[in-house]
Amino acid sequence: MQDRQKQILIVGLGLIGGSLALALQGFENYLVVGGVRSQVTYDKAVERGVARRVTFDPAAELPGADVVILCQDPQGIMDFLRDNRDKFRPGSLVMDVCGIKTAIMEAAKCLPETVDFIGCHPMAGKEVSGIDNAEATLFRNTHFIITPGEHSTPEHLDLLRRMATHCQFRDVVPTTPQRHDEMIAYTSQLMHVIALSVCDSEELFSCMGFEGGSFRDCTRVAALDVPLWTQLFSLNAPALSHVVEQLEERLRAYRLAIQSGDRAELSAMLEHAAGRKKQRNFEQARGDDVHVAF
């Protein structure tokens, strides 16, 4: 008797979905199917051989999909879950790759109990989007954050870890949706708000020739996908507002110290923050770089 061909369905072949499809090629005995919306993406996916098969109707593939990875934008993921909740294969593992988790985990509650939803957030990206920029090595050495559901099975968690290893993720970091969203507000969304705010300056164009590595690094992510990030910011408004306000307060404290002319006070502030950064670099180099509250 021949085993049924196992399938991974990836819905959305943009930067992350396309990269996952490429990275998962050759994973055990799974075949990767890709779902797209536009003809342009379809043509590129077929030309690059991103998936074994590409379809405009991913919902029709759900009954045969052992693993589903939802790679649309947040609203697209929530809509897809709601519209297709009865079509998922019983016993299947469903994942997403969205940058916020509380709203997604809430939306996934519409799924029947026979379907195991595990929220996922690969901490990888680029400042450019779309299948053109997808690559199999995008996830190499990055963190793969997951928020398992209440009833996630050890078998599915193990399958997810094997997929993560195949994609060359550095580690799998389990956490809760709330903690994820608080942390991401600080480590990722705040960096994007900073980059945008710096680029709003009237000096952005006149300063050409005066920038070094720190300016390029800090502003890199400002060239973002506007509809996506409008959703991500809006769906995490309380946590994001909190960290932005904290940053405003700390910037103000540095400004007052600089304005005061009190070099001893300013030096003490720099010593404190620089010392923390050096300590963190040290811990990271030592490998103590995942403190997880699960």
Among 90, 112, 261, 285, binds a copy of itself (CB under 8 A): 261
Whole-angstrom CA distances from 241 to 17, 33, 101, 246 are: 29, 39, 17, 9
Is there a contact between 253 and 268 (Cβ–Cβ < 8 Å)? Answer: no
User: Site residues for a copy of itself, window 14-73 (CB under 8 A)?
Assistant: none
Among 47, 112, 206, 285, binds a copy of itself (CB under 8 A): 206
Shortest reach from residue 8's CB to a copy of itself, in Å: 24
Torsion over CA: 229, 230, 236, 239 (sign)? positive
Rounded Cα–Cα distance for residues 148 and 95 (Å): 9
Is there a contact between 4 and 29 (Cβ–Cβ < 8 Å)? Answer: no
Among 4, 57, 210, 285, binds a copy of itself (CB under 8 A): 210
Is there a contact between 12 and 74 (Cβ–Cβ < 8 Å)? Answer: no
Shortest reach from residue 161's CB to a copy of itself, in Å: 15
84 in contact with a copy of itself (CB under 8 A): no
User: Site residues for a copy of itself, window 117-136 (CB under 8 A)?
Assistant: 123-125
Among 48, 153, 171, 177, binds a copy of itself (CB under 8 A): 171
207 in contact with a copy of itself (CB under 8 A): yes
Among 4, 77, 266, 286, binds a copy of itself (CB under 8 A): 266
H helix runs in 148-223, sequence order: 154-166, 177-184, 190-199, 203-206, 213-219
Whole-angstrom CA distances from 214 to 44, 210, 218, 276 are: 35, 11, 6, 19
Rounded Cα–Cα distance for residues 59 and 112 (Å): 16
82 in contact with a copy of itself (CB under 8 A): no
79 in contact with a copy of itself (CB under 8 A): no
Shortest reach from residue 235's CB to a copy of itself, in Å: 10
Residue with Cβ nearer a copy of itself (43 or 262): 262
Tokens 């400004």 belong to 255
Q: Which amino acid is at 151?
A: H
Shortest reach from residue 256's CB to a copy of itself, in Å: 9
**How many chain residues interact with a copy of itself (CB under 8 A)?**
95
> How many residues are listed for the chain in this entry?
294
193 in contact with a copy of itself (CB under 8 A): yes
Rounded Cα–Cα distance for residues 182 and 188 (Å): 10
Q: From residue 221 to residue 260, what is the string marking binding to a copy of itself with x (rule CB under 8 A)? A: xxxx-xx-xxx-xx--x--xx-xxxxxx-xxx-xx--xx-
